[in-house]
Amino acid sequence: MELLVCIKQVPDDSVEISLDPVSKTPALQGVTPVVNAFDTYALEMAARLKEAHGGEITVVSIGGEDVKNSLKNCLAVGADNAYLVKEEAAFSHDPAGIAKTLKKAIGEIEKDRGKPFDLIFCGKESTDYASSQVGLFLGEESSLPVAANVISVEPVEGGIKLKQETEEGYRVMEAALPCVVTIQKPNYDPRYPTIKSKMAARKKEITELSPIENLESQFKVLQILEPPKRAAGVKIKGDNIQEAVTEAMSVMTKARIF
Amino acid sequence: MSVSGGKNIMVYVETVSQSPVSGALEVLSKAHKLAADRGEKVIAVLIGMDLEEAARTSILAGADQAIMVKRETYDMEVFGEVLTKLAEKYRPSLILSAGTLAGKDIMPMVACRLHTGCAVDVMDITETDGQLVFTCPVYGGTVLNQLIITGTPAIGVVRSGAFAKELISERTGEILEEKVETEDTNRLKIIDVVKEMAEAVNLEEAEVIVSGGRGMGSLENFKLVEQLAEACHGVVGATRPAIEAEWVPRSHQVGQSGKIVAPKLYIACGISGATQHVSGMIGSGYIVAINKDEDAPVFDIADVGIVGDAVKVIPLLIEEIKRISSR
């Protein structure tokens, strides 16, 4: 199977991002760029699919020169080829703009490689903007079947069978290929690179692609704010836990909680 | 096709077992206020079978008109096409839905087909100079973007608990049925629906939630969280580490990648207070935190914090609660 995984580079989501008091923009300086967590789950799922059924994995991203580092990290954990749509201002696009850019890139990559993709993976959302729409827009723009919140995929005759998470469990669905899926965290973790796979990844070429000029966004950000801070209440500590609990209960009963 | 020069607010009212989901009623109540300010009306759209009762509930929650469209089973593409076609016919200026998995699936598709934008995880909608301004969290909720959607209609998927649900029994409205032709492309065929959860976990509507995190330490200790929840007549919640340790099923997850909740009382046990979790429960009325780490960030947002090992604190707390409630 020919597998494509769409990757977004995001600021490390274990770091709390605040607003820069002077510029009133998110303070991202010094925050390590990483591959979006849900995209790493997608790549791992693709890697397992490739190991079981053969094929190749291509990764594609949109962004500046620094995104090549994230793509190299993908090459070290299962991806065979990497492409970058070179666009410094990618962050200013809305999901529709990103999906259109990906659609164009997919056409170019397929031409470059001489074969079409069977399955296109995205993370179910990014940890920074979390719009959860790029995969859905990509499917819709390309008139392909698209399923969000997918937790497993397996090839079957004439297409793929997938599991989509629901509020109460999951749906089992079938689709013809090609198909777009957005990946929710499955019950396994992405693999780590080895020194050997890192070295091999470093030597690989990353092919650059050109963006779409003058994409229009459907959004205009008027203002960036910090959420109102919740004031801390009372913190009770003491050597005697029973006393601490009693004290806490008296605060709560006064507040009419119990 | 694009819809321009729209008027009125259309709300997709998702139903489960013929009843509107709570989030949809919250959205209707907010839409009612927005529409009143703009001299517009609210049009609820319900898709499914036997929805008359749900349509009436939608009117009580704030709809002026409830449109029922018959469909036997859920299909994201068909539901999306129904909404797209109704939007083309009724030309709303705004389309809203609750932030359920289905809402987050369908609305982007409608936005794509109508060549407009869709704001997700909407926490607030205000009007400034005739423009609708959407407040949406980014970076896990530590930063908020206030944005406008330049396309028409504007589309928003609303976070649960963002607005209050107001059912007013005096409200009246029109209920009608529309036949909407859709093409069955069958791009994705549902072959089975599996319900994993023995009972539905209704975190969004719970008045009390007791959540446990990594600090609970083990599956056995996590049972204390369940016992405390029972004592408070609440629902069990959990952080991602607790889910991943398989102490509790994923449907209990509160946080950025789980449920966004706003109960009256939230008790966090053995939870440090990582942004990803806090952004899902910061809207709670009263927050109680139990953690042995005095510097845990959860204490910065708690109304009452108890510094201590949750495993030791919880049994004492259960006793106190039982004592007080038996009085």
CATH code: domain of residue A165: 3.40.50.620
Q: Inter-chain contact B282–A170, Cβ cutoff 8 Å? A: no
Q: Is residue A123 part of a domain?
A: yes
Q: What pLDDT, on a 0 to 100 scale, did the predictor assign at position B198?
A: 61
| Residue of A166, A174, A177, A216 to mutate for B, most B C-beta atoms under 10 A | A166
CB contact B184 to A (< 8 Å): no
- Give pLDDT tens digits for B9-59: 999 999 999 999 999 999 999 999 999 999 999 999 999 999 999 999 999
- Give pLDDT tens digits for B187-225: 899 999 998 776 667 898 899 999 999 999 999 999 999
What's the average model confidence in pLDDT over A229-257?
A: 91
Q: What pLDDT, on a 0 to 100 scale, did the predictor assign at position B301?
A: 95
Strands of A100-143 (E only): list them: 119-123
Give, in order, the Cα–Cα distances in Å from A218 to each of A88, A185, B144. 19, 29, 18
What's the average model confidence in pLDDT over A14-26?
A: 91
Task: Enumerate the residues of chain A whose CB falls inside 8 A of the CB of residue B255.
Answer: none
Q: What pLDDT, on a 0 to 100 scale, did the predictor assign at position B19?
A: 96
Q: Is residue A43 part of a domain?
A: yes
CB contact B118 to A (< 8 Å): yes
Q: What pLDDT, on a 0 to 100 scale, did the predictor assign at position B147?
A: 96
Q: What pLDDT, on a 0 to 100 scale, did the predictor assign at position A219?
A: 95
Q: Is residue A23 part of a domain?
A: yes
Q: What pLDDT, on a 0 to 100 scale, did the predictor assign at position B8?
A: 96
Q: Inter-chain contact A224–B305, Cβ cutoff 8 Å? A: no
Give, in order, the Cα–Cα distances in Å from B70 to each of A166, A189, B283. 22, 42, 36
Q: Is residue A103 part of a domain?
A: yes
What's the average model confidence in pLDDT over B154-183?
A: 95
Q: Inter-chain contact A133–B100, Cβ cutoff 8 Å? A: no
CB contact B196 to A (< 8 Å): yes
Q: Which residues pair with A122 in a beta bridge?
A: A182
Q: What pLDDT, on a 0 to 100 scale, did the predictor assign at position B199?
A: 63
How far A79 CA sits from the closest chain B CA (Å)?
26
Contacts of B173 (CB under 8 A, 6+ apart): B59, B63, B64, B65, B66
User: Do residues B139 and A17 make contact, with C-beta atoms less than 8 angstroms apart?
Assistant: yes
Q: Is residue A216 part of a domain?
A: no
Encoding tokens for residue B119? 């704001």
Q: Inter-chain contact B145–A136, Cβ cutoff 8 Å? A: no
Could you give the strand order of the β-sheet that contains B304-307, starting from the edge strand earlier in sequence?
A: A234-236, B304-307, B286-291, B265-269, B208-212, B235-238
Burial of B70: CB neighbours in 10 Å, binned 0-12, 13-18, 19+ = middle
Res B3 pLDDT > 60: no
Q: Which of A227, A235, A241 comes nearest B316 by C-beta?
A: A241
- How many domains, in total, are found in chain A? 1
- Give pLDDT tens digits for B235-288: 999 999 999 899 998 889 999 878 889 999 999 999 999 988 998 999 899 999
For residue B239, which of B203, B264, B205, B208 has the smallest C-alpha distance? B203
Q: How many CB pairs under 8 A join A and B?
A: 218
The DSSP letter of residue B101 is H
For residue B61, which of B166, B162, B160 has the smallest C-alpha distance? B166
How far B59 CA sits from the closest chain A CA (Å)?
26
Q: Is residue A223 part of a domain?
A: no
Q: Is residue A115 part of a domain?
A: yes
What's the average model confidence in pLDDT over A121-127?
A: 96
Respond yes or no on whether the N-terminal peptide bond of residue A11 is cis (omega within 30° of 0).
Answer: no
Give, in order, the Cα–Cα distances in Å from B184 to each of A162, A216, B75, B114. 20, 32, 10, 19
How far B36 CA sits from the closest chain A CA (Å)?
24
Encoding tokens for residue A5? 């995984």
Which ranges constitute the DSSP H helices of A172-239? 195-203
Residue A23 structural domain: 2-209
Task: Enumerate the residues of chain A whose CB falls inside 8 A of the CB of residue B197.
Answer: 168-169
Q: DSSP of B196-262, one letter per residue?
A: --SS---TTT-SEEEEE-GGG-SHHHHHHHHHHHHHTT-EEEE-HHHHHTTSS-GGGBBSTTSB---
What's the average model confidence in pLDDT over A118-122?
A: 98
Q: Which of B109, B142, B191 comes nearest A16 by C-beta?
A: B142
Q: Is residue A189 part of a domain?
A: yes
Q: How confident is the model at residue A239 (pLDDT cuts 50, 70, 90)?
A: confident
Q: At what angle do helices B52-61 and B22-38 cross, to 10 degrees?
A: 50
- Give pLDDT tens digits for B112-150: 999 999 999 999 999 998 899 999 999 988 899 999 999
